[in-house]
Structure 1
Amino acid sequence: MAVLTAVQEESEAFREVGGLTQRLRGKPYYVAEGSDAKYPNVVHREIDRNNIQSGEKVRDVIEHWQPELLVLCGIAGGINGRADVSVGDVIIPPYIHYCSFAKLSSQGARRRYIPFDYPSINLHQDYVAPLRDDHSWLTDTLRSELPEGCQPKVHVESLVAGDKIYGDPDSEEQQRIVQEYDEAVAIDMESVGLCRGVAASRNNPQYNPRLLIVRSVSDIIDDPQNDESRKLWRPYACAIASHFTWRVVTDIVEMEPDPRRTPEVAA
């Protein structure tokens, strides 16, 4: 499986948690020390910020590895007053809205749509939802890194993907997006790139990748102290998202058979 991050701070946090210290020579991929370079269980790549760049890099990852699962791990901005979301919380969206494709007219913004995949329902049911009540993913190591009293919650709620960093409570565009997508609890800049890249890869009936998105809230976008909060909480949110992702990834590796090593593949 492939775990993808958008920026350096997210990447460093995940590689540290997962022990992915070995870079494949001449390639932008990291694996665990001693991994089979051709068939590692987990491979990591940084895919850059914004949906266009992330989509391009996702297609490269799929072409190179054909992973059974792609996970986007990192941070997002929470929306005030939605599902009691706080900084540090984990967001696992079952549904993604894309807010940047629209026609602007005298009647306002008219949304336009493109096809893309969504996170896999069975992953949410089997691996993610149980962790809302099972706090074993909050390891002693992670707890020691977080501010005193921080107890991240897990939310399975919708997310908005855009192509801008939203953090101005007075912005008319931001207010319109928050009002329009009234059930979404967070916003990021890369999720649709992943979802579109996976959808575009479905040209082979033998290849059926799944995807999952893990976000931790680094700031509340409609908070006047947004910038200060992001600077303070960004490293914490990166660590939280990485630990949660690693727990889910290791659960899947342990519980599901490796399709590359089944008798059918060997034959």
Structure 2
Amino acid sequence: MTINKGIISRGNNNTFSTIAIGEKAQAATTTPAPSAGSTAAAEASTPWDLGIVTILSEELRSVIDALTLHRHKTPSGLYFYQGEHTVSDATLRIVATQTQNQGQRSTMAALENLRRHYNPRLWALVGIAGGIHDEHARIGNIIVSTDVVYYENRKINPRGDTRRRGEHRQAPAHIVHAVNAYFTDHGTPARINGQMAAHADEQYEIYPGVIGSGEAVIADRDSEIRSYLTAYHEKVLAVDMEAGGLSQYWQENSVHGTANPGWIVIRGVSDHADEHKGHSHHELASRNAAHVLSRLLPYLC
């Protein structure tokens, strides 16, 4: 009997699999574990309808509860929350994630993770914002936005003279039409009851409007940024730190051969972007925003 200890090969790029030589020889077969890249490709190969980005844990928890999503961990260690939601006669496949940090850059990274793993046909940024328009900025009210003004670009001249150069982007036409149809059916403002037990008997208003977005946490009613935004566009109703990243990612992603997803921003007013800014209304604003997203789904998808 000859005992074969192994196979020696000299050269490059040699591959051996399930090889056995001789009488009664056996070869054990193994299936290699899929790589993180191949898993992402498999998940993205089946279209997903909606990809949601949140920033705070309260925001993600509100979306999970409103849409009945379940945790999923990829082999690479990323966490997503998946589920199906039935509207009219359609079942929508929905996935949500949370950014690592506040701000435009982390938002764009989260969008890229969603695109690579799920490739959804609609983006939604859902959570809280600071209201800057007195008429619409009641705590718990919702701003539904298909327009974003990014305010960070600026030129600083001698003697401290700063000239801001706002960038204004609008969502694709079919998303704007969907939002218009929602408000046509439900009125402007539309209304919902509070989505927390303590506020269930209170009504909150939903407005279409423009979001101002940059990197600053604004906690000053006399802030130069607030003055600039209201002068730039009188319908800037709230400010956040992420919508500019969403609109920028959407624009730059349009070079891909596949259809570029639509996008929408849904923000609950949690403060007035002034010296009273705090965390006490994050959950109310988050839950109201997530509920409005669920009501918009029949129009968006």
TM-score normalised to structure 2 length? 0.70
Q: Specify whether residues 53 and 212 from structure 1 end up closer, same or farther in structure 2 by C-alpha distance, changes over 3 A only.
A: same
CA distance in 2 between partners of 1:134 and 1:183 (Å): 14
Is the contact made by 1:58 and 1:198 (CA closer than 8 Å) also made in structure 2?
no
Q: Deviations over 1:214-242 (max 9, x none)?
A: 111111124x4x22xx4332110000001
Shift of residue 185 of structure 1? 1.0
**Does 2:70 match 1:17?**
no
Aligned to 2:80: 29
Shift of residue 190 of structure 1? 0.3
Shift of residue 95 of structure 1? 1.6
Aligned to 1:258: none
Aligned to 2:187: 133
**Does 2:147 match 1:98?**
no
Opposite residue 15 of structure 1, the aligned amino acid is I
Aligned to 2:32: none
Is the contact made by 2:147 and 2:171 (CA closer than 8 Å) also made in structure 1?
yes
**Does 2:57 match 1:8?**
yes
**Does 2:165 match 1:112?**
yes
**Does 2:121 match 1:72?**
no
Q: Deviations over 1:109-146 (max 9, x none)?
A: 223356x853233323334423642999837xx55535
Shift of residue 170 of structure 1? 4.4
Q: Specify whether residues 13 and 95 from structure 1 end up closer, same or farther in structure 2 by C-alpha distance, changes over 3 A only.
A: same
* Bigger Rg, which one: 2
Q: How does 1:36-47 map to 2 (within 5 A)?
A: 41-47=93-99
Shift of residue 193 of structure 1? 0.7
Point out where structure 2 has 5 or more consecutive residues left out of the alignment. Answer: 1-49, 86-90
CA distance in 2 between partners of 1:62 and 1:148 (Å): 36
RMSD: 2.9
**Does 2:289 match 1:232?**
no
Q: How does 1:1-267 map to 2 (within 5 A)?
A: 1-26=50-75, 27-32=78-83, 41-47=93-99, 48-81=101-134, 83-105=135-157, 106=159, 108-112=161-165, 118-127=170-179, 128-130=182-184, 132-133=186-187, 138=192, 142-143=194-195, 145-147=197-199, 150-222=202-274, 224=275, 226-227=276-277, 230-253=278-301
Point out where structure 1 has 5 or more consecutive residues left out of the alignment. Answer: 254-267
User: Which protein is richer in helix relative to its size?
Assistant: 1
CA distance in 2 between partners of 1:154 and 1:33 (Å): 25
By relative contact order (CA 8 Å, sep 6+), the higher-ranking structure is: 1
Shift of residue 43 of structure 1? 0.6
Q: Specify whether residues 157 and 33 from structure 1 end up closer, same or farther in structure 2 by C-alpha distance, changes over 3 A only.
A: closer
SS of the residue aligned with 1:138?
A: strand
TM-score normalised to structure 1 length? 0.78
Moved more, 92-101 or 183-192: 92-101
Shift of residue 199 of structure 1? 1.3
Q: Specify whether residues 241 and 190 from structure 1 end up closer, same or farther in structure 2 by C-alpha distance, changes over 3 A only.
A: same
Is the contact made by 1:17 and 1:246 (CA closer than 8 Å) also made in structure 2?
yes
CA distance in 2 between partners of 1:148 and 1:42 (Å): 26
Q: Deviations over 1:129-165 (max 9, x none)?
A: 23642999837xx555352653111111111001011
Shift of residue 60 of structure 1? 2.4
Is the contact made by 1:28 and 1:45 (CA closer than 8 Å) also made in structure 2?
yes
Shift of residue 46 of structure 1? 0.9
CA distance in 1 between partners of 2:232 and 2:161 (Å): 12
Q: Specify whether residues 184 and 117 from structure 1 end up closer, same or farther in structure 2 by C-alpha distance, changes over 3 A only.
A: closer
User: Which protein is richer in strand relative to its size?
Assistant: 2
Residue identity over aligned pairs, in percent, reads 20
SS of the residue aligned with 2:279?
A: helix
CA distance in 1 between partners of 2:214 and 2:201 (Å): 32
Q: Deviations over 1:58-81 (max 9, x none)?
A: 122223222110011011000142
CA distance in 2 between partners of 1:24 and 1:134 (Å): 40
